[in-house]
Amino acid sequence: MFRELLHAALDLVFPPRRVCPLCGGGDPEAVVCSGCRELLAGYAKERMCPCCGSAGPRGLGVNLVHPVQPVLCPDCRSGRLFELARAVGPYEEPLREAVHQLKYYRARWLARPMAALMAETFQSEAAYFRTRGLVPVPLHPAREQWRGFNQSVLLARALGEITGLPVLERVVARIRETPPQTGLARYERLRNLEQAFRVQKPEQITGKIITIVDDVFTTGSTVSILSHQLRQAGATGVMVLTFAIARQTGKG
Ligand SMILES: [Zn+2]
Ligand SMILES: [Zn+2]
């Protein structure tokens, strides 16, 4: 609580400058500057997995001479527990820097413009129209206290304000801290995550289609397990929306 107040006070003393949230460049007319807008439009032209929305390795995406039918990425081929995932763009510069600023440098003001970009993605994909609630991926309470906030909650709240959808913040609790997941085999990641969450307010999601909100989609294991648990608790469908998504590695 003290931390929250402190950060709010700091925002008043040092109001965030009105700059492009992606490149930090000068006064943007809209959500992002024209250069970043062009970059985002470029992502949209890349070939991506129709399920999770991940793009191929950088530079291999667009093939205008011999357009290839979209194919499922290796992770989605081995089965996903959500219906669809989309992101604003790949987890690389400048999107990665925005995530780092929000998460590690506590630039909370970024949540709003980042969510505005996520809202554009949300509104451009018809599958999301059936969503009746946003569920941010919870952090373990110890980690949330250490950071002072949960970036997924900040993004979900801002997205909720823009879309008018309710943010179901307390539906799921993170009851176990999960060790870093990088470098682990898929089955190990899933096993670690299985006991990480508990749905504690199933009545808020029963019979509803839910969209999970997070900052980054890395392997998709976390949102996959969470989707499974939301469905078991009564959600009729689960989709995922993140700010950024890791590119496919090109293996498999
Ligand atoms: Zn920019
Ligand atoms: Zn995929």
The CATH number for 177's domain is: 3.40.50.2020
Whether residue 142 lies inside any domain: the answer is yes
Tell how far the Cα of 64 is from the centroid of ligand 1, in angstroms.
Answer: 27
Centre of ligand 1 from the C-alpha of residue 128, in Å: 27
Q: Is the pLDDT of residue 142 over 60?
A: yes
Categorize the per-residue pLDDT at 28 as very low, low, confident or very high, splitting at 50, 70 and 90.
Answer: low
> How are beta strands 197-199 and 172-174 bridged, if at all?
antiparallel
Measure 27 CA to ligand 2 centroid, in angstroms: 36
Amino acid at 2: F
Q: Residue 83 belongs to what domain range?
A: 2-245
CA–centroid distance, 56 to ligand 2, in Å, is 10
148 in a domain, yes or no? yes
Q: How far is the CA of 140 from the centre of ligand 2 (A)?
A: 27
* Distance of CA 78 from the midpoint of ligand 2 (Å): 9
Q: Which ligand is nearest to the CA of 37?
A: 1
Burial of 66 (0-12, 13-18, 19+ CB in 10 A): exposed
**Residue 250 counted as domain residue:** no
Q: Report which of residues 74 and 114 the model is more confident about.
A: 114
pLDDT for residue 185: 77
Q: Is residue 172 part of a domain?
A: yes
Residue 127 lies in a domain: yes
> What is the 37 CA–ligand 1 centroid distance (Å)?
7
In-domain check, residue 198: yes
Count how many domains the chain has: 1
Angle separating helix axes 95-103 and 151-163, nearest 10 degrees: 110
- Whether residue 169 has pLDDT greater than 80: yes
Percent of the chain with pLDDT over 70: 85
Distance CA(158)–CA(170), nearest Å, equals: 16
Extract the tokens encoding 127: 């599958």
- Pairing state of beta strands 133-136 and 84-90? unpaired
- In this prediction, residues 140-153 reach a mean pLDDT of 91
Instruction: Kindly give the distance from the C-alpha atom of residue 34 to the centroid of ligand 1, in angstroms, as a whole number.
Output: 7
Tokens representing 154 are: 């900040």
**Is residue 252, in this structure, part of any structural domain at all?**
no
- Which of 236, 175, 230, 223 lies closest to 202, judged by CA? 230
pLDDT for the residue 242: 98
239 C-alpha vs ligand 2 centroid, how far in Å?
Answer: 13
Q: What average pLDDT does this structure show over 209-235?
A: 94
Q: 175 in a domain, yes or no? A: yes
CA of 211 from ligand 2 middle (Å) equals: 17
Total-model pTM: 0.87
Residue identified by tokens 């090109």 is: 250
